[in-house]
Chain A
């Protein structure tokens, strides 16, 4: 398109191939969530990520004005020099971003752009012009949790963008897309639905021409259930996606994070163990500061090195992905119910939400039916309290639908924070496995207890 009048300064990197090659060598790739408005600071963050003692890929997370396409607010903030919560890739001149990445981004250091937009056309145009060929999102997972864009409109936008992104292959750069479907509301979504949406978004990407994909799964509340979920995800990938086209990325917990340094590192360690034991190829880390603010570069590096060190002393547990489980049965039932709604997956996704075949608990988006409810059982596993109209067999349900009280919901939302912040070893063992915390190892300086910005 009109971006072709100038020779691009950057060459795309095969993100999927990079990760699979590290995985074949037995190394977990770790990645931060990192985004700064100032190009110099963004460059410093990427440079620190690259030189961390870990197998890393870089991240450029965009600011929320760019995500929401609020051009007026963005222009105003830039003009007044007000800080943004990420890198404004659309507003910055192409040359600025090229200079920011020059000499860092390359075959030995892929960079992924992360955003969170249901109207991502401008973002994708910027990525294509820059030859930045790895990003993430999805028509469902970037629409339902974050705003009011109608799902059908998000599907149209993402269809157009994925097709445009796929054209990068002609430029010699294999484009890569990661699903955000394994996260959804960040917490309290039973794993069967997370796995199903992740798989459906990967199929959507491939249907529109992007072959190289990764599928996310966000750590939830119970180590055993998470292990089962990643196996279910890998089994469905094996059944539905071309071999060699995919890998799995685990997100460290995305809900209310522990606010103590020890708690935060214990939870991150559990995420690294989950990734290695289950055979996931990549991990996106969280930092201690993330429960209250955008973390500084040093904290990101500390988290990356801590996760890599934990991964290095963990081994794959040898369990087969093929084993049957409740989570697999549930995810497979949801995926096949949606695939049965039409060959065009975008249309099928819209119809699935209309009928309640997909229904995200506690999601108040107008296009989500909102009939499902979830809760934690006595062991900390996520369960359906009310499966609404989800097309699930009796299997996996215990008894009739029940209401969840506000007190229960509040307790469930804070379960992980409490379990990992608390000194109660019994509760930590429920969710975290061995959970050894080498406090001296790579911990950033700072007080053991940080101020709380939220929750009680």
Chain B
């Protein structure tokens, strides 16, 4: 079961939007869903706290045009490093564009952030948007990268972003 409201036909294909196992934030996922829908994609939003196995199975089942992973609790780097090889280990997903973004680490140091982004690219992501805004993903998608085909190229972390940003805050805590 996934949250998948009925939408207009999506000429550009289906995108899976997902958080990672440790992250309960959802406003970032909702904003990404709206942005991608506005760009013409059909979005399947897997929601918060998605176990690795569930994410892999949904991706194998749905064969999405692209997988967008977003995390803002600061553990995204560790979660992403674990996830990428699990996704890439499935032959069906070997060539699927998979990107990750949000607030991925707890450090605010730019050098360390760039190092972590490079490690995530090495681990199997096609693009990493560290300390990025959802619109950075759109800019990337509009920039001509042929998403939906295997590009084989990797994209650096949110180049040209002078001000590090994240997307949204937490839901209210008790």
* B174/A148 in contact, CB under 8 A: no
Contact B26 A145 (CB under 8 A): yes
- Inter-chain CA distance A189–B111, complex, in Å, is 40
A154 at the interface (CB under 8 A from B): no
How many B residues are at the interface, by size bracket?
20 to 34
B48 touches A364 (CB 8 A): yes
Q: What residue of chain B has the Cβ atom nearest to residue A361's Cβ?
A: B30
Complex contacts, A257 vs chain B, CB 8 Å: 169
Q: 1/0 contact trace for A367-402 toward B, CB 8 Å?
A: 111110000000000000000000000000000000
CB–CB A454/B5 < 8 A? no
Residues of A within 8 A of B24 (CB): 145-147
**How distant is the Cα of A404 from the Cα of B46 in the complex, in angstroms?**
20
Say if the beta carbon of B123 comes within 8 Å of chain A.
Answer: no
Contacts of B45 in A (CB 8 A): 364
Residue numbers in B under 8 Å from A413 (CB-CB) = 27, 31, 168-169
> Which residues of chain A are near B5, meaning CB under 8 Å?
369-371
A256 contacts across to B, CB distance below 8 A: 168-169
Nearest chain A CB to B136 CB, angstrom units: 11
| Cβ of A140 to closest chain B Cβ, rounded Å | 13
| Contact present for B174 and A116 (CB under 8 Å) | yes
* Min CB gap A202→B, angstroms: 16
On chain A, the residues within 8 Å of B166 by CB distance are 454-456
Complex: how many Å from CA A115 to CA B174? 6
The total of Cβ contacts below 8 Å across the A-B interface reads 104
Binding site secondary structure of chain A: loop
Q: In A241-289, which residues have CB < 8 Å from any B CB? A: 251, 254-257
Question: How big is chain A's contact interface, by range?
Answer: 35 or more
A403 to chain B, nearest CB (A): 9
In the complex, what distance in Å separates the CA atom of A364 from the CA atom of B50?
A: 12
CB contact between B163 and one of A137, A367, A456 (< 8 Å): that residue: A456
B-side contacts of A363, CB under 8 Å: 26
Residue of A nearest to B50 (CB): A148
Partner-contacting stretch, out of A47-55, A90-98, A180-188: A180-188
Report whether A410 and B26 are in contact in the complex, using a CB–CB cutoff of 8 Å: no
Please determine whether A145 and B47 come into contact, CB atoms closer than 8 angstroms: no
Q: Which residue of A lies closest to B48 (CB)?
A: A147
Hey, what's the 0/1 contact readout for B46-71 against A, CB within 8 Å counting as 1? 11111000000000000000000000
Asked if B94 CB lies within 8 Å of chain A CBs, one says no
Say which residue of A136, A185, A251 sits within 8 Å of B171 (CB atoms).
A185
Residues of B within 8 A of A180 (CB): 174
Most buried by B among A115, A184, A406, A455: A406
**Which residues, 303 to 361 on A, are CB-close (under 8 Å) to B?**
none
Taking CB atoms, residues of chain A closer than 8 Å to B134 are 406
CB distance from B23 to the nearest CB of A (A): 10
18 contacts between A and B (CB under 8 A): A33-B173, A114-B174, A115-B174, A146-B48, A146-B49, A147-B49, A186-B171, A291-B169, A363-B26, A364-B3, A364-B30, A364-B48, A366-B1, A406-B38, A413-B168, A454-B103, A455-B166, A456-B165
Q: Which residues of B are in contact with A by a Cβ distance under 8 Å?
A: 1-5, 24, 26-27, 29-31, 34-35, 38, 45-50, 72, 103, 133-134, 163, 165-166, 168-174
Where the two chains meet, the residues of A that have a C-beta atom closer than 8 Å to any C-beta of B are 33, 61, 114-116, 136-137, 142, 145-148, 180, 183-187, 218, 251, 254-257, 291, 362-371, 404-406, 409-410, 413, 454-456
Besides the known contacts A145-B26, A148-B49, A251-B172, 13 further A-B residue pairs in the complex with CB atoms under 8 A apart: A61-B173, A116-B173, A145-B24, A146-B49, A148-B48, A187-B172, A363-B26, A364-B30, A368-B3, A370-B3, A409-B30, A413-B31, A455-B166
